[in-house]
Structure 1
Amino acid sequence: MTTPQQYTAPSADDFLMGGGVPSAKFPTVGHSVSGRITEKPTVEQQRNYEDDKLKFWDDGKPMMQLVVTLATSERDPENPEDDGARRLYVKGYMKNAVASAVRAAGARGLEVGGILTVTYSGDGEKKNVKFNAPKLFTAQYVAAAAAELHIPDPGTAQPTTQAPAATAPAAPAQVPGLTPEQYQAAMANPATAALLAQQQAAQAGAGNVPAF
């Protein structure tokens, strides 16, 4: 069976203007959704696919999910107004993957301007014949701040016993800690792009300081 599109309460602007942000989709194993977080993530209660009723655990506690809005490079060819915004509904296995990615990045949580990449990595054990096997995910997170983009600070670089070779500056997509896709997504954020440019300029200038 196919998974219906998730429901989330519209924002004030969406409600007023009649718009909405489509859900991120993971049609096949290996598919990734990546983009810059554009809104502060929110927590809401999950709803049942069949009747849209709120979902609860057996002990009566509400089943919650994290809603994350991303600016992605995806576009729906049938929707000329599609700007690439997608909503991730983070729960279950995806929640575990995103939490691990945030911890690996040294961050305390998801923030506006951060780059989140989620990949459909495979299927788990099918425990209910009425539903598909649960999807498994992996995730990567790069915080918006330059210090959390894993770019070395030239002032804290470790000394070396060999003279640095006269090599050309590394290509932008070779920024330490970032894949080319993450770099491209980071550059979509003007504030992050400015921080990257400052760090790269500082690194280039550090190699021209004469030794005494």
Structure 2
Amino acid sequence: MTMTANEFLMGGGIAAAKFDVVGTTVSGQITQSPRVEQQKDLNTGEPKFWNDGKPMQQLLVTVQTTLRDPEVDDDNGERTFYIKAKMLAAVREAVRRAGAKGLEVGGTLAITYTGDGEATKRGFNPPKLYSATYTPPSAAAANDFLNGGQAPAAAVDNRYNVLDQQQAAQQAAPAPAPAPAPADVDAGALQAALASLTPEQRAALKL
């Protein structure tokens, strides 16, 4: 496995995800861009090749888990999947079911050791069988929110709210009714009415 600069700096690498017992599931959010590298012989450390001379590749995917090794003081829970053979087929199918085009940082990958297949050669261990699920980043974020997260409230500029309220009030207020036009006055009738007033009435009207 190729070490990152920080792994080299800190003098260590990320532990591999282990599937020792049938039913074991390792799950977590992808923290680094997945990378492909050539497989190596576990005994000699030499690169492995197919019979036709092509290198045997594997996909390395690092996820953040809740696992902690009590024997490792600084275990932060990160684990790396070494994806090949049956595990590769399971992960590929999981990505297809998710409608994704590949694995992305922020997505959630879960792999379960479901059982053993049949050994292809006498004396060899039977291949492990796996199932997998993958949740793309956007869906993973939505699930986090639904499971207890809270989206931040949108900021509101109250200045514009006040202006809108004032404009709405002005539009809703009824326009004042126009003053009634003065009725036409008959000048002759007015003169006759004044002439019929008594002196006391004229005094009261200050005429």
TM-score, normalised relative to structure 2: 0.68
Which residues in structure 2 correspond to 1:1-212 (within 5 Å)?
Answer: 8-146=1-139, 149=140, 187=144, 197-198=150-151
Counterpart Cα distance in 2 of 1:45 and 1:150: 33
Counterpart Cα distance in 1 of 2:129 and 2:100: 23
Counterpart Cα distance in 2 of 1:193 and 1:144: 14
Counterpart Cα distance in 1 of 2:124 and 2:96: 31
Counterpart Cα distance in 1 of 2:43 and 2:102: 32
Deviations 1:149-172 (A, max 9, x none): 596xxxxxxxxxxxxxxxxxxxxx
Matched residue type, 1:40: S
The size of the alignment, in residue pairs, is 153
Query: Which is worse superposed, 16-25 or 33-42?
Result: 16-25
Counterpart Cα distance in 2 of 1:37 and 1:150: 13
Counterpart Cα distance in 1 of 2:36 and 2:11: 22
User: What secondary structure, in the 3-state scheme, does the structure 2 residue paired with 1:97 have?
Assistant: helix
Matched residue type, 1:58: N
Matched residue type, 1:38: T
Counterpart Cα distance in 2 of 1:129 and 1:193: 50
Matched residue type, 2:104: E
Overall identity of the aligned pairs, in %: 49
Counterpart Cα distance in 2 of 1:72 and 1:130: 35
Counterpart Cα distance in 2 of 1:59 and 1:197: 54
- Offset, 1:9: 1.5
Q: Which consecutive unaligned segments of at least 5 residues does structure 2 have?
A: 154-207
Using a 3 Å threshold, how does the CA distance of structure 1 residues 130 and 10 change in structure 2: closer, same or farther? farther
- Offset, 1:77: 1.0
Instruction: List structure 1 runs of 4+ shifted beyond 4 angstroms.
Output: none
Q: Which consecutive unaligned segments of at least 5 residues does structure 1 have?
A: 1-7, 152-182, 202-212
2:178 aligned partner: none
Using a 3 Å threshold, how does the CA distance of structure 1 residues 116 and 14 change in structure 2: closer, same or farther? same
Structure showing greater radius of gyration is 2
TM-score, normalised relative to structure 1: 0.67
2:186 aligned partner: none
Counterpart Cα distance in 2 of 1:80 and 1:17: 14
Deviations 1:106-161 (A, max 9, x none): 11000000000000011011123343110000000001113xx596xxxxxxxxxx
Deviations 1:69-94 (A, max 9, x none): 01001110111211100000010000
Deviations 1:181-205 (A, max 9, x none): xx5xxx4xxxx789x6449x9xxxx
Counterpart Cα distance in 2 of 1:129 and 1:11: 39
Counterpart Cα distance in 1 of 2:73 and 2:101: 37
**How much is the aligned-residue C-alpha RMSD, in angstroms?**
2.5
User: What secondary structure, in the 3-state scheme, does the structure 2 residue paired with 1:145 have?
Assistant: helix
Using a 3 Å threshold, how does the CA distance of structure 1 residues 73 and 150 change in structure 2: closer, same or farther? closer
